[in-house]
Amino acid sequence: MAEITGIRKTLEKHGQGHLLRFYDELSDRQRGVLLEQLAAIDFARMDDIVARYVRQVPGWNLQGRLEPPAIVPGKPATPAAQAEHKAARAKGAELLAAGKVAAFVVAGGEGTRLGYEGPKGCLEATPVTHKPLFRVLAEQILAASRRYGVAIPWYVMTSQGNDVATRAFFRQHRYFGLDADDVLFLVQGTMPAIGFDGKLLLADKGSLALSPDGHGGCLSALRRSGALDDMARRGIDLISYFQVDNPLVHCIDPLFLGLHALREAEMSAKGLPKRDPMERVGNFCVLDGKVTVIEYSDMPADLATATPEDGRLRFAFGSIAIHVLSRSFVDRLTSGEGPPLPYHRADKPVPCIDEHGKPVKPDTPNAVKLEMFVFDALPLATGTVILGIDRREEFSPIKNAAGPDSLSSSLHDQVRRAAAWLEQAGVSVPRDADGQVAAAIEISALFAESAEDLKAKIDPAKFTLVGGQNLYLGD
Ligand code: UTP
């Protein structure tokens, strides 16, 4: 009783008294849920957040302060660059073999654009055997573990909404061949939806309208969950970070890890040439001397399309959310109070209840959702390597239900990459009149991790591939 009086007072002081409007109607269990949600919120900090992100629309003042960043080319042209790549590959392999590297996937997103029921990692996403995304990633980690003769722990970030289903999926599939002790789950934080008047929204009478706090929430989640401590106990120095929805990702890349280590970076990133100047990816820039990713929506069109004398885009490289983070960097960023990164605001229609307790399903935005983005940690790092990569080799995400960046475009790109690997190994691949691959081809990482690996494994003379064939190269 005394407890609820205290909570009521706190809420009223911060203009959020409405959150207990239906408290008396709730069962004991419902009350427990609501009180737990409220206890997780620091309302003084929430006042600050409302002032900074809801009462005003935060913006950038970029004009004149931006420069393009240095990119390490994926295909080195000069002898010095070639030597650095060779040394980096060796360094990455050494760190892997010494058990210094962990894999980290962020899989807490809601996947609203795709509209898939359940965690996105369960989506069947390969062209021949229809493996779920989680298996595609797991097989790469298993292949790298075998190659380097070491366990590579895999940290999987889920959200409150998909944690139970994700863990059950891994159990059901026996961790895809990985040792269950080396697959570790952590749940990301949530953020309440905030009405334009600064008041938090109720989803129903006994709970707030909450959503995951963005992939940038992974930094605090790593600390809060104990995953950072676990990494320290295991002797992990580097975290290989990737998203759940890109089946072409190279989860464990010795070159990238080695460049990060040799250049003593704290957080590194892979980037690729934008498809067109306005492509909906973050732009790599240097802002006041710090490597920074500016979202496509925040990048003024004249800068996004700027082409100096040589005709090439000035800000040509987009961010694809593949990173190496030093564990010590995450430790440093998360050792203070509060979240380490700023929020990004999105105005969204959020289902909720009104002051009479009636459900509301708005068609237009009624609230602000706030998310942290992991790339905002880049300017806080003392060193960053941006490695330029080939889109066809490493990036074809599944974001949308149809069109670009959908399952069908990704299947097409997976087949195209597999065909390119086979051709590099000397195999003749059937193609149609438009030059498109005329077969379905899938190569598991357990068979070959790269084009070079495949070349070393197959004899093209003994290999025939005919039009319309379904070819799977697996374990
Ligand atoms: P996206 O930004 O594509 O978001 O996430 P999403 O939630 O998957 O999809 P939409 O925007 O609702 O359609 C990129 C990666 O970051 C993870 C996602 O799971 C995906 O791997 N993510 C995103 C999180 O882990 N947590 C979040 O809060 C947001």
CB 133 within 8 A of CB 122: yes
> Buried (b) or exposed (e) across 98-107, using 16+ Cβ within 10 A?
ebbbbbbbbb
CA of 342 to the centre of ligand 1 (A): 17
Query: What are 66-88's pLDDT values in tens digits?
Result: 899 999 999 999 999 999 999 99
Pocket residues for ligand 1 (CB within 6 Å)?
106-114, 120, 157, 188, 212-215, 217, 243-245, 371, 399
Specify the fold of 58-404: Spore Coat Polysaccharide Biosynthesis Protein SpsA; Chain A (3.90.550)
Share of the chain above pLDDT 70, in %: 99
| CA 448, chain centre distance (Å) | 24
Q: Please choose from 104, 106, 296 the residue to mutate so as to test ligand 1's pocket, defined by most ligand atoms within 8 A of CB.
A: 106
Question: Who contacts 174 (Cβ-Cβ below 8 Å, separation ≥6)?
Answer: 180
Q: Please choose from 248, 399, 407 the residue to mutate so as to test ligand 1's pocket, defined by most ligand atoms within 8 A of CB.
A: 399
CA of 220 to the centre of ligand 1 (A): 16
- Give CA separation, 160 vs 115, 195, 285, in Å: 18, 22, 34
45 versus 337: the higher-pLDDT residue is 45
Phi first, then psi: what are they for 149, rounded to 5°? 65, 40
State residue 302's pLDDT score. Answer: 87
CB 89 within 8 A of CB 255: yes
Furthest-apart CA atoms within the chain: distance in Å: 81
State residue 64's pLDDT score. Answer: 65
Please identify which residue in the block is written with the tokens 């097409």. 412
Give residue 180's identity as a one-letter amino acid code.
A
Q: Which sequence spans correspond to the domains of the chain?
A: 1-40, 58-404, 406-475
**Predicted confidence (pLDDT) at residue 303 exceeds the cutoff of 70:** yes
Cα–Cα–Cα angle for 237, 104, 107, nearest 5°?
160
| Mean pLDDT calculated for residue range 436-453 | 98
Query: What are 368-413's pLDDT values in tens digits?
Result: 999 999 999 999 999 999 999 999 999 999 999 999 999 999 999 9
Separation of alpha carbons 247 and 397, rounded Å: 7
Please identify which residue in the block is written with the tokens 């330029």. 388
State residue 1's pLDDT score. Answer: 58
CA of 57 to the centre of ligand 1 (A): 22
CA of 156 to the centre of ligand 1 (A): 13
Helix (H, G, I), strand (E, B) or coil at 182: helix
Alpha helices per DSSP H over 173-253: 218-224, 227-234
Strands 282-287 and 66-67: antiparallel
326 versus 337: the higher-pLDDT residue is 326
**Predicted confidence (pLDDT) at residue 338 exceeds the cutoff of 90:** no
Selection from 298, 296, 294 nearest residue 376 by Cα: 294
Share of the chain above pLDDT 90, in %: 92
